[in-house]
Amino acid sequence: MKYILLFFTFFSFAQQTQYVDFKTVLGEININTTNKSISGNVKYNFEILQPIDTIKIDGQNMTFTDIKVNGKEIIYRNTNKQLQLIFPFQKGKNILTFSYTVQPKQALYFINAENKEDTQIWTQGQGRYTSNWFPSFDDVNEKVVFNMDITFDKNYKVISNGILKNKLENENSFVWQYRMQNPMSSYLLVLAIGKYEEKSFTSKSRIPLEYYIENNDLSRFEPTYRHSKEIFDFLEKEIGIKYPWEIYRQAPVRDFLYAGMENTTATLFSTRYVVDSTGFEDRKYTNINAHELAHHWFGNLITAENSTHHWLQEGFATYYALLAEKEIYGDDYFYSKLYETAQQLKFASRTDTIPVLNAKASSLTFYEKGAWALFVLHNALGDKTFKKVIRNYLKKYAYKTVNTDYFFEEIKKLSNYNLKEFSKVWLETTVFNTKEANELLSKNKAIQIRLEVDKLNKKTIKDKEEFLSKVLQSDVYFTVKKAIVNQITNEKYEAKKQLLTLALKTNNLQVRQEVAATLYKIPEDFRTQYQTLLDDKSYQTQEIALFYLWNNFPSHRNEYLDKSKNWIGFNDYNLRTLWLSLALSTANYTSEPEILVNELIAYSSPKYEATTRQNALEKLINFKLTNDVVLTNLVNSTTHHMWQFSKFGRENIRVLLKNSEMRSTFERILPNLSSNEQFQLERLLRE
């Protein structure tokens, strides 16, 4: 008990990293898909820097056995959050070994685990979550060289951090031996398992690049990874520091929690961005691709010491992703994106009271205002000085943790720029400096015209039609033309008809899509023109246009359904689920409605990804095509690990429960649900 008392006294005054330095770890991992558990043997090499009575390793709800330091058993305490090693440690090097088992409640996810032929497993550790599946460190300041031996079914590919040194056969499994050379924070540890095909490339600097795709998505490889190597080569050159790791991999995973995650040497991203060439127009992976790669310098190589300085990761990654896109898509794209985020920040600042340098800042603030701060700084210092600051900053703090003052110190060495004022305006207050932003944006001709268009917002359409017509017929960047279409949304049709016609004639997919989205009541004399949107190479435009045409022109419904009957859309079946619901809601269109109903219901089942299921459930509910199976699938959504999908399920059940007949149906299906589903439904029934 003496040591336990010392632990709580000691750790109230100091961080463990001042006394203990964990150097390397080897994890020998086995995965059981049947009970969704992890077991393994762990070996940590660590050094005591100053005498200490207790050291800790974070491990959530784990069982630990055979715990030894330097081969000898040691007193320990398992708090279900930490493994605490209790011993009067003295300065010197040590080896810790132990075994553990855990059924992770989060951070490691089993997708379709019941299907032995199509399982996928992946991790998401950002925040303090890796300790849910691997004994590690929630404190980002503890950086370790991670090495992993992962045993799994030989029919699958296993991805982790670092170089794959060996792949050893072990009966029906392979042991994948991954090795790192440099340390990183624990939240960047990754595990991804799936049935992938892999294509290999090499960067200009000779870094191996491995891009993964699921077997059934091979035809989508090129559009999905379009510009990937170009982005890698550009960022190395722009940042001025060679990619700091041994290899770079990317792999899509199903039902991912976010758009992407920059695990060191292995970015995972959502299958939402696995697209064909048509899907690329609306869901290109380019920005996320560049953002997650930029994090390998800003976040992985140097890591913010705490959340207050999170902009040093997200702001930097956002800005460098924009620079990469500028290289690919040009200046107009770059300035238009900055203009859009400036508008978002200006609007948000009316109610958002938390600035960049605050651990509770919003994502918009950390990402977009952080990027804007760097844009301002880049322009103020000049390109040459800015790049030198970045190089010096990265070199000095490589594989360490940083804060904003560290970054500022590197600026002070090369410039007399007023950092105090800069920090006050861009990092410490929430008001967005629109005046300075517009001055910088106005360097771009397209933004100059955009600002002129914005000034006309309150003028009558008669007073501005001539100017807007000229802009629509000019070669100005398409975002300005989209802004015109959006600005006239609420004008009477006759007054804006000519402008809408000009917008369609631009033949720009995004401008035409804006027409599709804003003209939800389509006059008969515009029907023929609007129908051309169905032929646009954009699944998003086709979805909007199909629904509005079907809704506005009942006498033409069969025509529209015949045209679109073989459409699938994105990999979330957006067009197919819409078509099924419209076909079922069109009188006498199909002689076998039960076949279509069953197909639509199938898309709402756990067999499919959350985005597909939500698409199907939305249609089934909105078109009143519910039965016991649909309601069971809806209840199942409330147990899903993606909070957006589970929230969708709860909100829709709440609405349905207001109907007494629906409430009775939910009560009737309750006994047939799983225990987790019953828990969620019972809670909603009690509300």
Query: What's the number of CA atoms in the CB half-sphere (13 Å) around residue 289?
Result: 30
Residue that the structure tokens 């996810």 belong to: 109
pLDDT at 6: 35
The two three-digit tokens of residue 465, written as one number: 């039609």
pLDDT at 14: 44
Distance from C-alpha of 496 to C-alpha of 490, rounded to nearest angstrom:
9
What does each C-alpha distance from 250 to 110, 138, 229, 290 come to in angstroms? Answer: 19, 25, 11, 11
| pLDDT tens profile 663-679 | 999 999 999 999 999 99
pLDDT at 492: 96
- CB environment 415-426: b (16+ within 10 A), e (fewer): bebebeebbebb
Distance from C-alpha of 406 to C-alpha of 392, rounded to nearest angstrom:
11
Q: Which helix (H) or strand (E) holds 666?
A: helix 660-669
With contact defined as beta carbons under 8 Å apart, do 373 and 407 qualify?
Answer: no
Q: ∠ at Cα 537 (533, 538), nearest 5°?
A: 80
Select from 152, 139, 140, 138 the least CA-distant residue to 192: 152
Q: Which long-range contacts (CB under 8 A, 24 or more apart) does 572-575 make?
A: 572/272, 572/609, 572/611, 572/612, 572/615, 573/603, 573/608, 573/612, 573/615, 573/616, 574/539, 574/540, 574/543, 574/615, 575/539, 575/542, 575/543, 575/546
With contact defined as beta carbons under 8 Å apart, do 106 and 36 qualify?
Answer: no
DSSP state of 422: H
pLDDT at 114: 84
Distance from C-alpha of 19 to C-alpha of 153, rounded to nearest angstrom:
41
pLDDT at 10: 37
Using N-to-C axis directions, what is the helix angle for 370-381 and 434-441, rounded to 10°? 60
Using N-to-C axis directions, what is the helix angle for 610-622 and 643-656, rounded to 10°? 20
DSSP state of 298: B
pLDDT at 572: 96
With contact defined as beta carbons under 8 Å apart, do 104 and 113 qualify?
Answer: no
With contact defined as beta carbons under 8 Å apart, do 376 and 369 qualify?
Answer: no
Write out residues in the chain with pLDDT < 50, as ranges: 1-14
Select from 224, 334, 337 the least CA-distant residue to 278: 224
With contact defined as beta carbons under 8 Å apart, do 48 and 89 qualify?
Answer: yes
Question: Residue 109 forms beta bridges with which residues?
Answer: 122
With contact defined as beta carbons under 8 Å apart, do 344 and 369 qualify?
Answer: no
Distance from C-alpha of 206 to C-alpha of 204, rounded to nearest angstrom:
5
Distance from C-alpha of 581 to C-alpha of 575, rounded to nearest angstrom:
10
pLDDT at 5: 35
Q: What is the DSSP string of 84-137?
A: EEEEEE-SEEEEEEEEEEE--SSSEEEESTT-TTS-EEEE--TTTTGGGTSSB-
pLDDT at 369: 98
Select from 497, 476, 486, 499 the least CA-distant residue to 454: 486
Structural domains of the chain ordered from first start: 1-185 (2.60.40.1730), 195-296 (1.10.390.10), 302-443 (1.10.390.10)
